[in-house]
Amino acid sequence: MSNDRDYSQLYARRQQDMQASDKFVLIILLSHLPFIYFLVPMGFGTHIHGAIPATLACLSSFFVYKTMPGTLASRSIMTVSLMLMSMIVIMQQFGRLEMHFHIFATLAFIIIWRDYKMLLLAAGVIAVHHAVSVPLQLADTQLWNIDYVVYGIQCDWEIFFIHAAFVIIETAVLVFFCLRMQAQFDLSNKLMVTIQNSAKDRDFTISFNDIKATTVSDDEFVKSLKSFYGTIRHAFAEFKHAGARLDELAQSSVKSLEEDVLELNHQNARVESVAAASEEMSQSISSVSKTTEEASALSLQATESLKQTESISHEALEEVVSLINNLKEVESTFTGLNNSIEGINSSIQLISEVSEQTNLLSLNASIEAARAGEHGRGFSVVAEEVRSLALKSKGATESIMLMAKQINSSVEVMTKNISECQSRGQTTINTVNKADSAMKDASTGAIRISDLNVQISQMLAEQSNVAEKISRTLQEVFTTNDAIISSTRGSLDITRENQSLADKLSKEANQFKV
């Protein structure tokens, strides 16, 4: 017990015990007052003789309890006050023998402090009182008109020494018990402080070597306590090692499970991604299959359309050939018309020349008629009429010639256009023939494409079934993987809880010094 803190705690516990003992003794002192005030002096008329000193003793004891509790001074004053109470009750009943037993009872109360000095002080006080009382009583001394009597039956020095012997013997016995009690108190106090500090500091390395036992049984108890603490130290050392190992294993398990969960999450993500891609592929295959079926149907429709177009092309070709033949006939007609117009032009030219000559002749006739005078006037009129008809005929002829030229020009244009139409018709025939050949090839290709689309659609349907099966399998894998993740996470949570408990146990164990 070399630690200053332990010494201060021991002193504090002694002071607390002394203060509690002071309080108990003060209560004992105060409990005397009703007896001293009323019961003890009843029939003896010594009320005031006991009340005053008893009250003063209680007041002085209360004062020291409030001002200096647990000190040697408070114990001393209270011890003297207790002895004073014994003197008062003895003297209130004029030395009655039974009242002397109060001294022995008071001495027994005094060992509550476990201070043998208080026993010696009490024995000394009562010895002085009895020694002084012998001559005072023999001299018939009075105190406030009351006889001073301590020895009720017989008062002499022999009685004094007999009383003194009993007091000495009891004091010796009580001193022995007081020392034993103090040794027991010191031992228990030291053990309590040591164990309390051990519990407070969580320290099992405390030493009991400074604690000395005064008896064999106490020594055995201290040895047993030392052995018990050794067992606890060993157990806690093993506990700390096991806690550290458990924490290490828990950390390793948590790390492993966290890696497993992370890998399973990655695997789950990959499976989910593949499943999604498979689902998308299945949908794409279904879409492509549907598109292929539609393309096959369109190919069949195109084949039918090409066949219809080929038929229409043949009809158009026949119509173009017929048109070319008709154009040839029209061209021949226009050629004949052109030849007729040329003949008409020749005739009109001849008529024009005749009209010109007639006009000249009419002019000459008019001139000659004018020369004939009155006789040629009638002829002149006729000549003028002929000339007028010739001019009209010439004008009409010129108009016909102009119209003939226009017709001839139109015929030439029409002939040229018909020739161009014939040329274009021939080109159209060639193009239609090429288109017919191309449509035949396209029809054959469309039929081939339709067949291929049907085959592709069938293969895509098979691939779609396979993709759906793969998607379902991946979904099952995902579900199983998810269940494994949930289970692993549950194990991880349990392991983390175990790790937390292991860490907590390890920390708790590390707080103890072993």
pLDDT digits (tens, 9 = 90+) for 188-239: 777 776 776 666 666 666 666 666 666 666 667 666 667 776 677 777 677 6
255-291 pLDDT tens trace: 877 787 777 777 767 767 766 766 776 676 677 567 6
Fill in the DSSP letter of residue 148: -
Q: For residue 27, which of 136, 116, 112 has the smallest C-alpha distance? A: 112
336 and 451 belong to one structural domain: yes
Task: Summarize pLDDT for 314-352 with one digit per residue, the tens.
Answer: 776 677 667 667 667 766 776 776 677 677 777 777 777
Angle between helices 72-92 and 116-138 (to 10 degrees): 30
Would you say residue 450 lies in a domain? yes
Q: Which of 428, 421, 411 is nearest to 332 (CA)?
A: 411
Question: Cβ distance 80 to 121 under 8 Å?
Answer: yes
Task: Determine the 3-state secondary structure of 146 from DSSP.
Answer: coil
3-class state of residue 203 by DSSP? strand
Residue 471 sits in a domain of what CATH number?
Answer: 1.10.287.950
Q: Are 480 and 386 contained in the same domain?
A: yes
Number of domain units in the chain:
2
Task: Compute the average pLDDT of residues 475-491.
Answer: 77
* Host domain of residue 440: 248-510
CB 478 within 8 A of CB 271: yes
Beta bridge partners of residue 513, listed in sequence order: 203
Same domain for 272 and 192? no
Residue 116 and residue 264 in one domain? no
Boundary (domain end) residue, out of 201, 221, 236: 201
Average per-residue pLDDT in the chain?
78
* Whether 25 and 122 share a structural domain: yes
In angstroms, the Cα distances linking 363 to 50, 350, 358, 393 are: 210, 20, 8, 15
Percent of the chain with pLDDT over 90: 23
Question: Side-chain half-sphere of 485: how many Cα atoms within 13 Å?
Answer: 15
Which pLDDT band, with edges at 50, 70 and 90, does 355 fall under? confident
CB 51 within 8 A of CB 37: yes
Give the CA count within 13 Å in the CB-facing half-sphere of 501. Answer: 8
Q: Is the pTM value of this prediction over 0.75?
A: no
Same domain (yes/no): 147, 24: yes
Tokens of 252: 């390793």
CA dihedral 453, 456, 461, 465 (to 10 degrees): -170
Contact in structure between 89 and 80 (CB atoms under 8 Å): no
pLDDT at 351: 74
Q: Among 162, 177, 201, which residue terminates a domain?
A: 201
Residues whose CB falls within 8 Å of the CB of residue 384, separated by 6 or more in sequence, listed in order: 362, 366
